[in-house]
């Protein structure tokens, strides 16, 4: 399987996030992508750097105002105080119901709140370059599929599926899966499916395509009544307008076993097949692993091979986009099991 990897991901390296009221080291760390890259390379998969520029497609997925902010956010932060180089900006106020989000504040932290869904998406000096490289990988994957590749694996971080058209959230800044899907539509595909198997509901992906019928979004995830991102991902969210029937959520209770998870995967695959997609984008979160430090599903290493094999049976050109997975040491082999399961399936 062709692997797309850029070392620019390493520049996204914030030190801390908030967890249970404390500042803790970031779960979403550079070693994650290094482990995945090493494991895939070690199993003989060819690796190349993303060759295409995502600039045009990015603007079809995300709002200009948000992209402009994101690209210059770190330099805006430094301009406030040169000592900010060693500090992380966090939002402190969000424009919830009754507050205005149409006026961009002059205050940097207020702008950060406007463009964030949570306090869990810390920025660092290289965040934009890392996120942009992820989008470049997504567009490059679409290009490789267009040229006849059966599958491509984007080793992207930061992840993307919580990022919406105009906001960051849940460690995510640019929605790489949405960028891949949008790029495929511009390359002769008329129907694309996104299958999100990350533990957390991909609220950003859902919201970007919610009123569209060309991109089917199917997600298996922890029930948002108890699991992040809490405010989206319920079973009754089916799409709206022209997109009605083109969003399928399969929430599962915290602690769900592998057997039950694979039952949900069958339902997800059945709906995906019925869409007859010209290409499939898999938001590949590996935080369904039993050893994940922030999630509660019970998949084991061999289950990731089974997942890859099942996805192969859909018979579509497939782009895998790395999302979550925080058991860093096992992340590489779990990701490589999906790739190998797909190729052998
Ligand atoms: C991203 B992905 C709060 C800690 C929890 C939310 C989890 C984001 C998961 N600061 N953060 O879907 O794996
Ligand atoms: Zn996740």
pLDDT number for residue 191: 98
DSSP state of 105: P
Check pocket membership of 221 for ligand 1, CB cut-off 6 A. no
Check pocket membership of 159 for ligand 1, CB cut-off 6 A. yes
Number of H helices, E strands in the chain: 10, 10
Instruction: Give the Å distance between the CA of 198 and the centre of ligand 2.
Output: 5
Ramachandran category for residue 149: left, alpha or beta (phi over 0 → left; psi -120 to 50 → alpha): beta
Write the residue with the smallest CA distance to atom 8 of ligand 1.
Answer: 170
The number of angstroms, rounded, from the C-alpha of 309 to the middle of its chain's C-alpha atoms is 21
Check pocket membership of 134 for ligand 1, CB cut-off 6 A. no
Write the residue with the smallest CA distance to atom 12 of ligand 1.
Answer: 200
**Residue 2 φ/ψ, nearest 5 degrees:** -70, 130
Query: 3 near 46, Cβ under 8 Å?
Result: yes
What the block records as the tokens of 223 is: 């029930």
Q: Give the C-alpha separation, 158 to 177, whole Å.
A: 12
Q: Is 162 an active-site residue?
A: yes
pLDDT number for residue 337: 99
Write the residue with the smallest CA distance to atom 7 of ligand 1.
Answer: 170
Check pocket membership of 120 for ligand 1, CB cut-off 6 A. yes
Query: 266 near 195, Cβ under 8 Å?
Result: no
CA quadruple 81, 83, 89, 92: dihedral sign: negative
Query: 287 near 199, Cβ under 8 Å?
Result: yes
Q: Give the C-alpha separation, 317 to 342, whole Å.
A: 11
Instruction: Give the Å distance between the CA of 279 and the centre of ligand 2.
Output: 23
Check pocket membership of 230 for ligand 1, CB cut-off 6 A. no
Check pocket membership of 324 for ligand 1, CB cut-off 6 A. yes
Determine how β-strand 22-25 pairs with β-strand 16-19. Answer: antiparallel
- Strand ranges for the chain from DSSP E: 2-4, 16-19, 22-25, 47-48, 151-154, 192-196, 215-222, 247-252, 279-284, 318-322
The number of angstroms, rounded, from the C-alpha of 277 to the middle of its chain's C-alpha atoms is 20
Q: What is the pLDDT of residues 74-132, one digit of tens each?
A: 999 999 999 999 999 999 999 999 999 999 999 999 999 999 999 999 999 999 999 99
Query: 73 near 128, Cβ under 8 Å?
Result: yes
Instruction: Give the Å distance between the CA of 84 and the centre of ligand 1.
Output: 24
Instruction: Give the Å distance between the CA of 294 and the centre of ligand 1.
Output: 8
Q: What is the pLDDT of residues 174-201, one digit of tens each?
A: 999 999 999 999 999 999 999 999 999 9
pLDDT number for residue 334: 99
Query: What is the average pLDDT score of the chain?
Result: 98
Out of 37, 161, 162, 275, the active site residue is 162
pLDDT number for residue 165: 99
pLDDT number for residue 254: 98
pLDDT beneath 70, residues of the chain: none
pLDDT number for residue 122: 97
Instruction: Give the Å distance between the CA of 292 and the centre of ligand 2.
Output: 10
Atom of ligand 1 nearest to the CA of 18: 10
Q: Give the C-alpha separation, 132 to 61, whole Å.
A: 13
What the block records as the tokens of 341 is: 């399961």
* Whole-structure pTM value: 0.98
pLDDT number for residue 263: 99
pLDDT number for residue 9: 98
């Amino acid at each position: 399987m062709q692997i797309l990897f850029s070392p620019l991901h390493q520049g996204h390296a914030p030190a801390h996030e908030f967890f249970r009221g404390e500042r803790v080291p970031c779960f979403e760390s550079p070693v994650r992508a290094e482990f995945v890259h090493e494991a895939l390379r070690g199993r003989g998969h060819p690796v190349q750097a993303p060759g295409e520029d995502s600039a045009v497609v990015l603007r079809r997925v995300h709002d200009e105002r948000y992209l402009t902010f994101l690209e210059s956010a770190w330099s805006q932060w430094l301009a406030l105080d040169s000592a900010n180089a060693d500090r992380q900006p966090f939002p402190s106020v969000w424009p919830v119901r009754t507050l205005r989000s149409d006026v961009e504040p002059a205050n940097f932290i207020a702008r950060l709140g406007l463009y964030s869904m949570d306090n869990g998406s810390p920025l660092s000096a290289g965040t934009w370059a890392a996120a942009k490289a992820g989008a470049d990988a997504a567009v490059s994957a679409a290009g490789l599929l267009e040229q006849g590749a059966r599958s491509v694996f984007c080793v992207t971080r930061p992840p993307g599926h919580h990022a919406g058209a105009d906001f960051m959230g849940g460690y995510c800044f640019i929605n790489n899966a949405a960028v891949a899907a949008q790029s495929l539509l511009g390359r002769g595909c008329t129907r694309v499916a996104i299958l999100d198997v990350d533990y957390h509901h991909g609220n950003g992906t859902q919201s970007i395509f919610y009123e569209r019928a060309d991109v089917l979004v199917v997600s298996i995830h922890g029930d948002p009544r108890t699991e992040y991102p809490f405010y989206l991902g319920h079973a009754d969210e089916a799409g709206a307008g022209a997109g009605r029937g083109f969003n399928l959520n399969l929430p599962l209770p915290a602690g769900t076993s592998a057997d039950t998870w694979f039952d949900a995967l069958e339902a997800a695959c059945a709906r995906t097949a019925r869409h007859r997609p010209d290409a499939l984008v898999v938001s590949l979160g590996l935080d369904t692993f039993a050893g994940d430090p922030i999630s509660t599903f019970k998949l084991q290493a061999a289950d990731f091979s089974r997942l890859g094999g099942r996805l192969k049976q859909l018979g579509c050109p497939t782009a895998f986009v790395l999302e979550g997975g925080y058991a860093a040491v096992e992340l590489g082999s779990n990701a490589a099991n999906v790739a190998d399961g797909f190729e052998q399936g």
